[in-house]
Amino acid sequence: MDGWDSFSHVTLVLAIEARFGVRFSQKELLSFRNVGDIAACLEKKAAG
């Protein structure tokens, strides 16, 4: 994606944490390869 970089990634993850009221662990952060991984992690947190 044009203009997307690791700074944008941090901003996105921080915004998701704030929006959904969750906090990702370092292990979860290491495992994220795409937005789908973040969505799956959010669903897991919501379920349990």
Partner 1 sequence: MFTPLNLAAITAAAFLASFAPGRRPRNLGLLAASCLFYAAWDWRFLPLLFVSAGTDYLCALGMRASSDDSVRKRLLLTSLAVNLSILGFFKYFNFFAAGLADLLGTFGFHASAPALDLVLPLGISFYTFRTLSYTLDVYSGRLEATDDFLDYALFVTFFPLIAAGPIVRAADLLPQLSRAGGRRPGWAGEGLHLVFWGVFEKVFIADNLARISGPVFSGGEAAGAAALAGVYAFAFQLYFDFDGYSNIAKGVCRLLGFDTADNFRLPYLSSNAVEFWERWHISLSSWLRDYVFMPAAMAMRGFGNRSAAAAALLTFTLCGLWHGAAWTFVLWGAYHGALAAGYRLARPHLALLPKPGGAAAAPLRRALAVLVFFHALCLGWVLFRAGSVSSAFSVLRALASAGSAPAAGTFMKLAFFLAVPAAAQFWQAKRGDLMAVYRAPVPARAAFYFLCSCLLVIFGAKEAQEFIYFQF
Which of 1, 2, 5, 46 is the binder for partner 1 (CB under 8 A)? 5
Q: Provide the mask over 20-39, with x wherever binding to partner 1 is found by CB under 8 A and - wherever it is not.
A: ----x-xxxxxx-x------
Among the listed residues 12, 48, 42, 46, the one whose alpha carbon sits nearest the alpha carbon of residue 28: 42
Which residue matches tokens 């993850």? 13
Which of 7, 19, 21, 48 is the binder for partner 1 (CB under 8 A)? 7
Which of 1, 2, 6, 19 is the binder for partner 1 (CB under 8 A)? 6
How many alpha carbons lie under 13 Å from residue 43 in its C-beta half-sphere?
A: 6
